[in-house]
């Protein structure tokens, strides 16, 4: 077997939530027995944008804010890969926010994990669009407002078993061709914005609520809005479209590009221009 | 008296939606059947409907990549057409004027012009109940002026409306009314004031630069396209959306150009040949992504259909003012190639070359077009699709990868080229990043590694230098005065040089097809001449500046510039050269 790069040690501070995200992702990939060479992890810019270095799979470091279109292109070009986009809240909800809504709309079958810590950690502590106590954005409500959305979940690194379960569910949803799997993880930055205590107090586990139906979009929307007004943060499986069917996709990476195999067809195209 | 022409220029103008293009298309079909080469262009405002619009056609026994100096036949559907473009009529030319809305405005046409005034629009409404039939009426008149046989004109009209048989009869009736008007003016069948020379007929296609390039990329194996609508590049998006699926590829209309270029990077990462197409404003937005292709070493081809800038500029007007951005744009130093075709045939060939070169250098390759080249249609011989070779560069097969003890994505090699494994291949796992990195793709700021990686990437251009498309020479090879230009200047330069030679002024011509890196042959062409006129459509002489700064500073580079959005005519370029030569 050909030897490749040795995975890098995480750059994160001791206690960083991102360790929990990486553990959940590595665990889910192992649980689903996905070979490393069929796994492509793309990450944005920021502390979270180093997760791809640590897993031993194919890794890609996208431009700031552009992890979603990059992952979309990779998945469109080879949907047989398990494509996982990852990044922070600054990357995904500030500079890259425009792409998120269009990714919900297009519903490509890959997974996106946002490590939300409310802060720009790598540049040492500027506010992000999810900073507690400021005017914030809730990407889960955004996703619920798009009719094509098929999977939305939120995990918390303080609930590692649930996080691994949600990660596995997200990967499974995307790998089965059911559509875009969006997983936001509350992943505190212990150095610049230690939200462990406040998020522990505010989190509310919908998985533990027997009365909650994650297949009912309007109920989910109402519930999340209600909780928001009570300063509570829902975690768990928020929404899964029960009608999202398993689809298969054309694989451009496997297409034939030898002109000899298409000569007749190419000549047909050209003959439309004959005069 | 009958003039015998081997080169005829026609123009039809009116309001957008008048159907000017229909008359030009019908005329083009007759000329093509007679073996004439065609060049076809439009002059429109950036709006959906209405506003002054003109369609122009040149038919010539020699292939020409541009319009002639003036117009022999002008069909004007209203007074505004006469006022805005009447001055383009040749001395002794023919104007067919639709007088439905009023008499011919005076003072806008050359004095020797023959004007035929007919209220086409009114007759079309009166006799055929629809104004649009005025086009067939007008076509009848100009068919007689050009001494076509009536059956010849009828045949192309029938062919044109073959898909809509309900329209054929009334269009033929309109055509016959046109013949009747021509009779009244003394233009009998086969006996008009203009006759065309006999030209041997060949199998040709009539295609624009955008369509030729898009088709070239398809044949070269491009199976992923991402774009965002923008004039004058949108036809590439439309072509790819229509055709790429047939070959198992994907075309995406992205939410913006940032998304488009990054989607293409993602697709390229998986080994699929990927293309984006845009114009100047979109190229500006894509700069970060294109630099990323350079740093992360991802094959990427970018079409730039240039339009006049800066900023939003004039979207429908041609310019070559992105040259500096293509050559030097983006943060940091990274290797890139800029190719510039001069006509649709070259656009097809260079699309293939660009795709293969991108695989070799694992980096960005631009195909530089301009609005005129992108959107004007020209007759060219059929493309040689069977002659296209797919070159995978250093892409590893699984078998080759398996024989390696270890795989380094960014292996530092003598020629800078690193063997490439893509996701899905066992043993090829790698880290791809635009951060500086070591051979494994791990982020590194080590000074020695940094310098080695910069040098490695730069060497890739030297490795492919012999494969870069060479320039095309014309005129007097040995002449001490040279002329050089790219894209939309290519055809008009050749024609100007031919005509100047007749007058005893000889020029050596070069149309470089590789703008960046600047080829040694280009520098030698300049260095060995007393003067070289660099013809380009921009205000700053961007190409001239690059050539002067790279080559020996012998002061021989002179600029001939135009930036009014309108291509040079041969006569205009000749005047500019003669003026320069006489001062």
B109-136, pLDDT tens digit by residue?
A: 998 999 999 998 888 888 888 888 899 9
Residues of chain A with C-beta less than 8 angstroms from the C-beta of B271: 77-78, 253
pTM of structure: 0.97
Exposed (0-12), middle (13-18) or buried (19+): which is A21, by Cβ within 10 Å? Answer: buried
**How deeply is B311 buried, as exposed, middle or buried, from its count of CB atoms within 10 A (0-12, 13-18, 19+)?**
exposed
Find residue B28's DSSP bridge partners.
none
Among B331, B362, B387, residue at a domain's last position: B387
Span B369-378, pLDDT tens digits: 999 999 999 9
Alpha-carbon distances of A266 from A18, A100, B220, B385, rounded to whole Å: 50, 37, 11, 7
B380 CB within 8 Å of a chain A CB: no
Q: Same domain for B82 and B21?
A: yes
* Mean pLDDT taken over chain A: 97
The domain that contains B145 carries what CATH number? 3.40.920.10
Task: Determine the pLDDT at residue B211.
Answer: 98
Task: Output the CA angle A161-A167-A173, nearest 5 degrees.
Answer: 135
CA dihedral A75, A78, A82, A85 (to 10 degrees): -30
For residue B378, what is the domain's CATH number?
3.40.50.970
Residue B128, pLDDT score: 82
Whether B393 is covered by a domain: the verdict is: no
Both B191 and B294 in a single domain? no
B498 and B434 together in one domain: no
Tell me which residue in B203, B248, B264 faces A252 most closely, judged by beta carbons. B248
Closest-approach residue (CA) in chain B for A75: B267
* Angstrom distance (rounded) from CA B369 to CA B488: 8
Interface of A with B in 230-259 (CB under 8 A): 250-259
**Which residue, B365, B387, B409, sits at the end of a domain?**
B387
Q: Do B430 and A4 touch (CB under 8 A)?
A: yes
* Tokens 């695989």 sit on residue: B359
Which structure tokens are listed for A258? 């030898």
- The C-alpha atoms of residue B257 and residue B263 are separated, in whole angstroms, by 10
Query: What per-residue confidence (pLDDT) applies to B44?
Result: 66
Smallest CA-to-CA distance from B209 within B93, B310, B305 is with B305
Residues 6+ positions from B361 with CB-CB distance below 8 Å: B299, B335, B337, B393, B417, B460, B461, B463, B464
A256–B248 C-beta distance less than 8 A: yes
How far is residue B27's CA from residue B206's CA, in Å, rounded to a whole number? 13
Best B424, B437, B443 residue to mutate vs chain A (most A CBs within 10 Å): B424
B374 and B262 within one domain:
yes
Walk me through the domains of chain A, giving residue ranges and CATH numbers: 18-248 (3.40.50.970)
For testing the chain B interface, which of A38, A70, A112, A248 should be mutated: the one with the most B CBs within 10 Å?
A70
Establish, for the pair of chains A and B, how many residue pairs have beta carbons separated by less than 8 Å: 235
Whether residue B31 is contained in a domain is answered as yes
Any B CB within 8 A of A53 CB: yes
Last residue of a domain, one of B202, B236, B269: B202
Cβ-Cβ contacts under 8 Å for B371 (sequence gap 6 or more): B231, B232, B305, B306, B307, B308, B316, B317, B318, B319, B488
Report d(CA B559, CA A212) in Å as an integer: 73
Same domain, B249 and B380: yes
Chain B 529-568, CB below 8 Å of chain A: which residues?
none
CATH number of the domain within which B533 lies: 3.40.50.920
Which residues does chain A have within 8 Å of residue B203's beta carbon, measured at their own beta carbons?
274
Token readout for A158 is 């303080």
- Quick one: residue B145, left, alpha or beta (phi over 0 = left, psi -120 to 50 = alpha)? alpha
Q: Which residues of A touch B210 (CB under 8 A)?
A: none
Quick check: B441 contacting A, CB < 8 Å? yes
Mark whether B43 and B174 lie in a shared domain. yes
Per residue in B523-561, pLDDT (tens digit) is 999 999 999 999 999 999 999 999 999 987 778 999 999
- Whether B529 maps to a domain, the answer reads yes
pLDDT at res. B131: 83
CA-to-CA separations, B370 to B298, B340, B468, B566, in angstroms, rounded: 25, 9, 21, 12
- Verify whether the Cβ–Cβ distance A74 to B266 is below 8 Å: yes
- Is the minimum CB–CB distance between B398 and chain A shorter than 8 Å? no
Exposed / middle / buried, residue A34 (Cβ in 10 Å: 0-12, 13-18, 19+): middle
Please give the backbone phi and psi of residue B386, each rounded to the nearest 5 degrees, phi first.
Answer: -75, -20
Quote the CA–CA distance of B526 and B238 in Å, as a whole number.
40
Taking contacts as CB-CB distances below 8 angstroms, the residues of chain A near B268 are 73, 77
Angle of CA points B141, B144, B146, to nearest 5°:
110
Are B210 and B329 part of one and the same domain?
A: yes
Backbone angles phi, psi at B151, to 5 degrees: -65, -30
Q: If contacts are CB pairs under 8 Å, which of residues 208-267 in chain B contact chain A?
A: 211, 215, 218-219, 221, 223-224, 226, 243, 245-250, 252, 254-256, 258-260, 262-267
pLDDT of residue B302: 98
Question: Which of A69, A77, A254 minimises the CB distance to B250?
Answer: A77
What pLDDT is recorded for position A139? 98
pLDDT per position as a tens digit, A13-47: 999 999 999 999 999 999 999 999 999 999 999 99
Does any domain span residue B153?
yes
> What are the chain B neighbours of A249 within 8 Å (beta carbons)?
none
Number of domains within chain B: 4
How close A219 comes to chain B (CA, Å)? 30
- The answer on B404 and B293 residing in a single domain is no
Using alpha carbons only, give the angle B558, B564, B567 rounded to the nearest 5 degrees. 75
B259 vs A53: CB contact, 8 Å cut-off? no
Query: Which chain B residue's Cα is nearest to A271?
Result: B205
Tokens describing residue B218: 């398809």
Q: Which of B206, B405, B426 sits opposite A37 (nearest CB)?
A: B426
Residue B560 lies in a domain: yes
Q: What does the buried/exposed string (b/e) look like for B488-524 if buried means 16 or more CB atoms within 10 Å of the residue's CB?
A: bbbbbbbbbbeebeeeebebbbbbbbbbbbbbeebee
Task: Identify whether residues B325 and B350 lie together within a single domain.
Answer: yes
B173 and B268 both lie in a single domain: no
Which residues of chain B are modeled with pLDDT < 70?
A: 44-50
Element spanning B364, H or E? strand B364-370
B205 → closest Cβ in A40, A75, A273: A273
pLDDT in tens, A32-91: 999 999 999 999 999 999 999 999 999 999 999 999 999 999 999 999 999 999 999 999
State the residue range of the domain holding B477.
472-582
- On whether residue B534 sits in a domain, the answer given is yes
Q: For residue B75, which phi and psi values (nearest 5 degrees)?
A: -100, 115
Q: Give the chain A residue whose CA is nearest to the CA of B251.
A: A76
Residue B175 and residue B48 in one domain: yes
Structural domain contains residue B322: yes
Q: Is the pLDDT of residue A114 over 90?
A: yes
Tens-place pLDDT, residues A244-260:
999 999 999 999 999 99
Query: Using CA atoms, how far apart are residues B554 and B561, in angstroms rounded to an integer?
Result: 20
Tell me which of B270, B425, B437 to substitute to probe the interface with A (most A C-beta atoms closer than 10 Å).
B270
A residues 87-126 lying closer than 8 A (beta carbon) to B? 98-99, 102
For residue B348, being part of any structural domain is answered with yes
> Residue B345 in contact with residue A273, Cβ under 8 Å?
no
Residues in A closer than 8 angstroms to B404, CB to CB, are 2
Burial class (CB in 10 A: 0-12, 13-18, 19+), B376: buried
Q: Which of B73, B433, B3, B369 is nearest to B216 (CA)?
A: B369
- If asked whether residues B286 and B429 sit together in one domain, one would say no
Contacts of B248 in chain A (CB under 8 A): 250-252, 254-256
């Amino acid at each position: 077997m050909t030897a490749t790069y040795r995975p890098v040690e995480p750059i994160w501070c001791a206690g960083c939530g991102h360790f929990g995200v990486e553990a959940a992702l590595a665990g889910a990939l192992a649980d689903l027995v996905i070979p490393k060479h069929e796994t492509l992890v793309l990450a944005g810019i920021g502390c979270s944008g180093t997760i791809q270095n640590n897993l031993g799979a194919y890794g890609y470091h996208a431009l700031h804010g552009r992890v979603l279109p990059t992952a979309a292109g990779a998945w469109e070009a080879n949907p047989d890969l398990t494509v996982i986009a990852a990044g922070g809240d600054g990357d995904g909800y500030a500079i890259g926010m425009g792409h998120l809504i269009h990714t919900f709309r297009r519903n490509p079958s890959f997974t996106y994990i946002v490590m939300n810590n409310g802060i720009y950690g790598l540049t040492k502590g500027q506010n992000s669009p999810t900073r507690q106590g400021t005017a914030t954005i809730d990407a889960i409500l955004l996703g619920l407002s798009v009719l094509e959305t098929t999977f939305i979940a939120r995990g918390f690194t303080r609930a590692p078993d649930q996080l691994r379960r949600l990660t596995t569910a997200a990967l499974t949803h995307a790998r089965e061709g059911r559509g875009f799997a969006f997983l936001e993880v509350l992943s505190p930055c212990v150095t610049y914005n230690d939200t462990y205590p406040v998020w522990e107090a505010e989190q509310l586990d919908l998985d533990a609520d027997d009365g909650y139906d994650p297949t009912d979009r309007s109920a989910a929307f109402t519930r999340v809005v209600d909780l928001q007004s009570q300063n509570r943060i829902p975690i768990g499986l928020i929404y899964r479209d029960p009608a999202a069917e398993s689809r298969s996709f054309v694989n451009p990476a496997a297409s034939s590009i030898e002109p000899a195999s298409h000569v007749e067809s190419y000549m047909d195209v050209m003959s439309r221009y004959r005069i | 008296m009958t003039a015998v022409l081997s080169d005829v220029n026609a123009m039809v103008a009116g309001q957008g939606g008048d159907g000017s293009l229909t008359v030009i298309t019908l005329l083009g079909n007759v000329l093509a059947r007679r073996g004439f080469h065609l060049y076809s262009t439009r002059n429109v405002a950036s709006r959906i409907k209405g506003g002054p619009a003109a369609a122009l056609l040149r038919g010539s026994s020699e292939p020409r990549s541009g319009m002639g100096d003036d117009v022999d036949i002008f069909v004007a559907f209203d007074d505004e057409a006469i006022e805005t473009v009447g001055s383009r009529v040749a001395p002794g030319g023919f104007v067919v004027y639709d007088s439905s809305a009023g008499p011919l405005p005076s003072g806008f046409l050359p004095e020797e012009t023959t004007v035929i005034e007919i209220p086409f629009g009114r007759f079309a409404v009166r006799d055929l109940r629809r104004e649009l039939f005025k086009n067939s009426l007008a076509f009848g008149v100009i068919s007689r002026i050009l001494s076509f046989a009536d059956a010849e004109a009828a045949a192309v009209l029938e062919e044109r409306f073959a898909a809509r048989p309900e329209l054929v009869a009334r269009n033929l009736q309109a055509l016959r009314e046109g013949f009747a008007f021509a009779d009244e003016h003394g233009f009998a069948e086969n006996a008009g004031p203009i006759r065309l020379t006999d030209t041997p007929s060949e199998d040709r296609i009539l295609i624009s630069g955008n369509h030729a390039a898009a088709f070239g990329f398809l044949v070269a194996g491009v199976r992923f396209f991402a774009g965002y609508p923008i004039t004058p590049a949108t036809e590439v998006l439309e072509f790819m959306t229509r055709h790429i699926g047939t070959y198992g590829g994907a075309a995406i209309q992205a939410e913006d150009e940032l998304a488009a270029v990054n989607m293409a990077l993602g697709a390229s990462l998986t080994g699929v040949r990927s293309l984006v197409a845009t114009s100047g404003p979109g190229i500006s937005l894509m700069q970060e992504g294109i630099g990323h292709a350079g740093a992360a070493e991802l094959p990427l081809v970018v079409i730039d259909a240039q339009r006049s800038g800066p900023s939003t500029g004039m979207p429908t007007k041609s310019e070559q003012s992105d040259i500096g951005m293509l050559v030097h744009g983006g943060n940091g130093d990274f290797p890139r190639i800029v190719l510039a075709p001069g006509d649709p045939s070259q656009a097809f060939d260079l699309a293939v070359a660009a795709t293969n070169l991108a695989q070799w250098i694992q980096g960005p390759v631009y195909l530089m077009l301009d609005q005129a080249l992108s959107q004007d249609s020209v007759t060219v011989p059929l493309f040689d699709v069977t002659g296209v070779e797919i070159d995978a560069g250093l892409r590893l097969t699984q078998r080759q990868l398996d024989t390696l003890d270890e795989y380094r994505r960014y292996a530092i090699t003598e020629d800078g080229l690193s063997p490439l494994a893509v996701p899905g291949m066992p043993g090829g796992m790698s880290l791809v990043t635009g951060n500086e990195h070591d051979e494994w793709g791990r982020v590194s700021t080590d000074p020695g590694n940094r310098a080695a990686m910069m040098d490695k990437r730069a060497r890739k251009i030297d490795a492919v230098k012999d494969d870069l498309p060479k320039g095309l020479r014309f005129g007097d090879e040995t002449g001490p005065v040279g002329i050089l230009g790219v894209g939309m200047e290519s055809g008009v330069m050749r024609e100007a040089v031919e005509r100047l030679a007749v007058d005893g002024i000889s020029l050596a011509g070069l149309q470089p097809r590789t703008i960046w890196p600047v080829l040694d042959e280009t520098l030698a062409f300049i260095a060995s001449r007393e003067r070289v006129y660099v013809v380009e459509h921009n205000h700053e002489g961007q190409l001239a500046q690059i050539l002067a700064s790279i080559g020996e500073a012998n002061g021989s580079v002179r600029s001939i510039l135009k930036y009014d959005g309108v291509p040079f005519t041969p006569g205009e370029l000749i005047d500019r050269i003669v003026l320069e030569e006489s001062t």
